[in-house]
Chain A
Amino acid sequence: MSNSRILEISVGIFVAAGIAALLVLAVNVSNVGGFSSGKQYTITANFDNISGLKRRSSVAIAGVNVGRVINISVDPVTFEAVVEMTLDSSFNEVPVDSSAGIYTAGLLGEKYIGIEPGGAPDFLEDGSVIRLTQSSIVLEKLISQFLFSQSDREEK
């Protein structure tokens, strides 16, 4: 085999290995080809309190990931948190009277939005607003409520 042939083959192996490594990183390590590639539609929901929810948090129906939170802002009039999220358009038959709640995955896990489907005949579409919402549970409030109820009981 001539010298330049060996050179060509080794460079070919190098480039192929590099590109293969990139592909492995893209397909096997990251979540490419998930929801980001397909068609999506955007809906919004207003919450009293979203503490801990972040952009890119997941949106789930029955615990299955169906979309992502893309933007969080505050309504300047009602002071509610406005959460915009995209859902994968294969889930385009979510009833309009579905409710959205902010839950925690596990005791210390990340916050996510869980959508509980309702029973209305109409479906959510691009730009719809979810009316029924349940805010994030703030642990400090829960503890203080518990403590107050304990002290009330002792006084009686």
Chain B
Amino acid sequence: MFDWFAQLGKNTIEFYARLGREVLLFIQTLLAIVPLFLRPGLILQQLYSVGVRSMLIIIVSGFFVGMVLGLQGYNTLVDFGAEESLGVIVALSLVRELGPVVTALLFAGRAGSALTAEIGLMKATEQLSGLEMMAVNPVNRILAPRLLAGIISMPLLAALFSAVGIFGGYLVGVDLLGVDEGSYWSQMQEKVDFDQDIVNGVIKSFVFGIVTTWIAVYEGYSCIPTSEGVSRATTRTVVYSALVVLGLDFLLTALMLE
């Protein structure tokens, strides 16, 4: 009987201890971002491996998602004789939802897993301990630049995704299916609001950037330093990021739509 209570208590304490460690580390990393601006070289390198290298997959997927939206939207709208609204549908679904969410999922798979594996391997090969031995704080040197690069990259990648997607929808809708070019753009401009839609999309992608990069960095930093531990941490990064992004997306949407 007491064993059961003891187990429950132990689990609760462990849960909160883990949560506390994670929050403390997060605050520490955020604080370490400020002095980072004195050494832009570190950020530049991470922007390259996190942002530039994710660009190709984001652009290609954005293009195809936009083209599919154009096809599907046209086939539904043409039944109601409302195919001129195709631009609105493509733009709103990309800017509000698909842009930030799909970009975050791809970002977690492409950049997040790489970050976890990199940091995890650094830990497994005791490079992190080596840094500490040389009185270099791995939080300042390893975690902070990666987190900042992720936070900068995500909104830019999401904007690229949406812009390319709208262009893809334009190619399919206007050039292939014959929607009027003028109404594609003018209806889009009339219905898409800057404050309501675009800014909200950017806020979403910014939040997703913090969350996915943080999960990746933390999982790598706290993994069990064996080859199995690194592989598990990498898997967890992708799974947790996907779940958290989708859950947060619902929350944010519910908050933004009054």
Contact = CB atoms under 8 A, between A and B. Distances in A.
Interface in A3-41: 4, 7-8, 10-11, 13-15, 17-22, 24-26, 28-32, 36
A25 B95 contact: yes
Interface residues of B, number: 32
B224 interface: no
19 contacts: A7-B44, A7-B45, A10-B48, A15-B47, A15-B152, A18-B51, A18-B156, A18-B157, A19-B159, A21-B159, A21-B163, A21-B164, A25-B162, A25-B198, A29-B166, A29-B192, A30-B198, A31-B189, A31-B192
Interface string B192-211: 11110110001000000000
B159 A29 contact: no
Interface in A33-87: 36, 56
Contacts of A25: 95, 159, 162-163, 166, 198
B52 A30 contact: no
Chain B contact residues: over half helix, strand or loop, or mixed? helix
B204 to A, nearest CB: 13
Contacts of A19: 156, 159
A26 B48 contact: no
Q: What's the dominant secondary structure at chain A's contact region?
A: helix
Contacts of B164: 21
A11 B198 contact: no
A17 B189 contact: no
B39 to A, nearest CB: 14
A17 B166 contact: no
Contact of B55 (A4, A14, A24): A14
Contacts of A29: 91, 95, 163, 166, 188-189, 192, 198
B190 interface: yes
A11 B189 contact: no
Interface in B99-128: none
B150 interface: no
B62 to A, nearest CB: 9
Contacts of B188: 29
B156 A31 contact: no
Given A30-B197, A30-B198, A11 B156 contact: no
Contacts of B155: 18, 22
Nearest to B188: A29
Nearest 4 interchain pairs by C-beta: A18-B156, A32-B194, A21-B163, A21-B159
Nearest to B82: A108
B185 interface: yes
A11 B193 contact: no
Nearest to A22: B159
Contact of B160 (A7, A10, A18, A30): A18
Contacts of B41: 4
Given A14-B52, A17-B55, A31-B192, 16 more contacts: A10-B48, A14-B156, A15-B47, A15-B152, A15-B156, A22-B159, A25-B159, A25-B163, A25-B166, A28-B185, A29-B188, A29-B192, A30-B197, A31-B189, A31-B190, A32-B194
A46 to B, nearest CB: 24
B52 A21 contact: no
A87 B51 CA distance: 43
Contact of B44 (A8, A17, A30, A36): A8
Contact of A17 (B48, B160, B190): B160
Nearest to A33: B194
Interface in B172-192: 185, 188-190, 192
